[in-house]
Every structure is written in structure tokens, then in C-alpha cells.
């Protein structure tokens, strides 16, 4: 957790989104609890889904682009034998067959085809924009829009349990993966159709469901003064970026957004492309995110200033 100059709460809260809430509902509620603080989220969950929703507060909203690339883990229930127009349980049933002839070994064999890097067609009921309009608006109007497949990666896909036509799955995947589309595609591949019955997000990057708080718990911690201890700092969230320590003179240049040539840049891992780095002062304060240009000896350009100038 970090604070701004006024001592306001700042950082990331790991919220457990309950069914029926939109991700925007959660953001609005936290903003209300924190009396108008700048609040955002990293990684939308559908209203019917539950689980981990990272809530960004204060300057943490400025680092969302560094969090959305994190992989995600889900527990999903695939219902075999039923297809819906939304690919999940909120939609209208389109087809219904008896899935009892799908043996587990057949399902296991099909799952192997869905592991690894692959192309996925975004569902019509999604916020993906085509021609500036979200697909779900066209879907609600009964239209089907031409859309491009996207590259995704399914890192892990395994059966947790099977109960008749319902199959519980554990999925670890890249950003941009639609689990309901994955379930619909698996159902189609086994020949009986299927849709996503329930979905819980268990993890976003290093943020796990074991750390998550419901909105009521967030409000309770705020009332007792314990919420400050629940925040994760920007520095902790950006742990995957190499850290470069700068001296006082360089720190002032960083806070003005000027490029620098720190000695420590030579110790960064070599890379054929520009590398994002954390810039910290000698006291350990996170100042900014920069880009280390390996093509120019030791040059670091400032991308985002995350701290205040000293007075």
C-alpha cells in the first residue's frame, strides 16, 4: 500500500466479485466508500461470474496496462448437451441433446486439442468492438458481425470433477481468453454442444482468491481502520519489472519526465527490444516507470511518473 501526499489510500485491493455485480458496479461502490478517489479495475468479469477482481485506487489506475498481461486461473463448469446464444447460462437455449454418450476418455482426448497457443473467435455477446461498436449491441439486435480470431494461450486445462452432464474444469490461460467460448468449442468438438454454466476466477497473476475480500468486507475494514493494510503497493505489483536505483539529481530529472543515463542501467538483462523498468530513489521510493533503450547506451526514457516532486 502507498499513500499520496494527502495520506489517501492508494494501491490495489483484491476484491471478490459476487454474482449479479458488474465490474463497473464494484468500481462505483469502492469509489463511493473512498469518497471519490480515482478507482478502476484490471480485467472485466461478466455479471454472472464470481471471483478475483483487482481494484486499482489512486495512482494505481495508471499502471493497469502492466497488469492486464498477467495470466488468469479459472474454475468453470461446462454443461454438455446444451448450446445457448450467449455461450453461457444467461442465454436462450438453442439446442439440447443427451450427452450421456460422451465418455471421459473421449473428453480428455478432446481437451488436449485445446491446450497451448490457438486462435479463438470472440463471442457476439462481448464488449469487443468492431467498427467502433461493441459486439453485444449487434447481438441484442439479432445481428451477427464478421469478426477476427484472436491468438490466445491455454496453459493448463484439466478436469476437476464430473457430475453427469456437468464437468468442472480448471483453466489457466492468457489475457483475452473467453472461457464461455472455450466451453462452447469443447462441447462442439465432442459432438453434443455445450455452454459455460458457472465461472469463478481464482487468480489474476499473483493475486489469488485466498486474499480476496467481498465488498462488505472492504466496507468493514474501512470502518475499523484496517483497510490500509489490505492494499498492495505499486512497487509490489510491478515486481516483474527490473528496478534501477537513481541518485538525488537523477531522481529530480525522473520526476520532471526527463530521460536519464543511470550507471545501474548497465546491469539490466540484455534484450533485443526496449525493456520497461522501475525507477527508484536511494530511499527505495518508487518514482516512475521507464523504458530502457538497449540501442542507446544506458538511456532510460520516462514512461509514467508515479511520485510527486519534493517541495
For residue 43, give the C-alpha cell.
480485467
Q: Is the pTM of this model over 0.75?
A: yes
pLDDT grade for 311, boundaries at 50, 70 and 90: very low
- As a whole number, the mean pLDDT across the chain is 88
pLDDT grade for 158, boundaries at 50, 70 and 90: very high
* DSSP letters for the chain: -EE-TT--EEEEEEEEEPTT--HHHHHHHHHHHTTS--EEESS---TT-EEEEEEEEGGGGGGHHHHTTS-EEEEEEEEETEEETTSBTTS-EEEE--GGG--HHHHHHHHHTTSEEEEEPPPSSSS-EETTEEHHHHHHTT-------EEEEEEEEEEEEEETTEEEEEEEE-TT--HHHHHHHHHHHHTS-EEEEEEEEEEETTEEGGG-B-HHHHHHHHHHT-GGGG-B-HHHHTTTSPEEE--HHHHHHHHTT--B--GGGGGSPP-SS-EEEEEE-TT--EEEEEEEETTSTTEEEEEEE-SPPP-
Mean pLDDT to the nearest integer, 80-90 = 94
Please tell me the predicted confidence (pLDDT) of residue 5.
Answer: 40
Please state, in angstroms and rounded to a whole number, the distance separating the CA atoms of residues 310 and 300: 21
The single residue of 4, 25, 46, 69 carrying the catalytic annotation is 46
Work out the angle between the directed axes of helices 215-224 and 23-33 (0-180°, nearest 10).
10
pLDDT at 309 over 60: no
Which residue has better confidence, 240 or 200? 200
Contact status, residue 71 vs residue 205, Cβ threshold 8 Å: yes
Mean pLDDT to the nearest integer, 242-266 = 84
Please tell me the predicted confidence (pLDDT) of residue 124.
Answer: 75
Which residue has better confidence, 4 or 82? 82
Please tell me the predicted confidence (pLDDT) of residue 272.
Answer: 66
pLDDT at 42 over 70: yes
Please tell me the predicted confidence (pLDDT) of residue 187.
Answer: 96
Phi, psi of 201 (to 5 degrees): -85, 120
For residue 224, give the C-alpha cell.
475499523
The number of beta carbons lying within 10 Å of the beta carbon of residue 96 is 12
Contact status, residue 77 vs residue 171, Cβ threshold 8 Å: no
pLDDT at 271 over 80: no
**Complete domains list, the chain, with CATH:** 2-69+206-236 (3.30.2350.10), 72-204 (3.30.2350.10), 241-305 (2.30.130.10)
pLDDT at 6 over 60: no
Please tell me the predicted confidence (pLDDT) of residue 3.
Answer: 45
pLDDT at 207 over 80: yes
Please tell me the predicted confidence (pLDDT) of residue 122.
Answer: 82
Please tell me the predicted confidence (pLDDT) of residue 2.
Answer: 47
Contact status, residue 149 vs residue 121, Cβ threshold 8 Å: yes
Mean pLDDT to the nearest integer, 20-30 = 94
Please tell me the predicted confidence (pLDDT) of residue 117.
Answer: 97
pLDDT at 297 over 70: no
* Known active-site residue 46: yes
Contact status, residue 3 vs residue 37, Cβ threshold 8 Å: no
Beta-carbon-side half-sphere exposure of residue 255 (alpha carbons within 13 Å): 17
Please tell me the predicted confidence (pLDDT) of residue 267.
Answer: 60
Mean pLDDT to the nearest integer, 43-71 = 91
**Closest CA relative to residue 211, chosen from 188, 231, 195, 240:** 231
Amino acid at each position: 500500500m502507498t499513500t499520496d501526499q494527502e495520506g489517501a489510500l492508494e494501491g490495489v485491493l483484491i476484491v471478490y466479485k459476487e454474482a449479479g455485480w458488474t465490474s463497473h458496479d464494484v468500481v462505483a461502490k469502492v469509489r463511493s466508500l473512498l469518497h471519490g478517489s480515482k478507482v478502476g479495475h484490471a480485467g472485466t468479469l461478466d455479471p454472472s461470474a464470481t471471483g478475483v477482481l483487482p481494484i486499482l485506487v489512486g495512482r494505481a489506475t495508471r499502471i493497469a496496462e502492466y497488469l492486464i498481461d498477467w495470466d488468469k486461473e479459472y474454475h468453470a463448469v461446462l454443461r454438455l448437451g446444451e448450446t445457448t446464444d450467449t455461450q453461457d447460462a444467461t442465454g436462450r437455449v438453442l439446442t439440447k441433446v443427451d450427452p450421456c454418450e460422451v465418455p471421459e476418455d473421449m473428453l480428455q482426448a478432446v481437451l488436449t486439442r485445446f491446450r497451448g497457443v490457438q486462435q479463438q473467435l470472440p463471442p457476439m455477446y462481448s464488449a469487443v468492438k468492431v467498427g467502433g461498436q461493441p459486439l453485444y449491441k449487434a447481438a441484442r439486435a439479432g445481428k451477427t458481425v464478421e469478426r477476427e480470431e484472436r491468438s490466445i494461450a491455454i496453459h493448463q486445462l484439466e478436469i476437476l470433477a464430473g457430475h453427469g452432464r456437468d464437468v468442472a474444469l480448471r483453466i489457466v490461460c492468457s489475457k483475452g481468453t473467453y472461457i464461455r467460448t472455450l466451453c462452447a468449442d469443447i462441447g462442439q468438438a465432442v459432438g453434443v454442444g455445450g455452454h459455460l454454466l458457472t465461472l469463478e476466477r481464482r487468480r489474476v497473476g499473483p493475486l489469488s482468491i485466498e486474499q480476496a475480500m467481498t465488498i462488505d468486507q472492504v466496507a468493514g475494514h474501512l470502518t475499523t481502520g484496517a483497510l490500509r493494510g489490505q492494499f498492495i503497493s505499486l512497487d509490489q505489483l510491478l515486481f516483474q519489472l527490473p528496478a534501477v536505483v537513481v541518485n538525488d539529481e537523477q531522481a529530480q530529472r525522473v520526476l520532471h519526465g526527463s530521460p536519464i543515463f543511470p550507471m545501474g542501467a548497465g546491469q539490466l538483462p540484455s534484450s533485443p527490444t526496449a525493456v520497461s523498468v522501475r525507477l527508484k530513489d536511494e530511499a527505495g521510493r518508487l518514482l516512475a516507470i521507464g523504458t530502457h533503450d538497449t540501442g542507446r547506451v544506458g538511456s532510460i526514457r520516462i514512461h509514467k511518473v508515479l511520485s510527486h516532486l519534493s517541495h
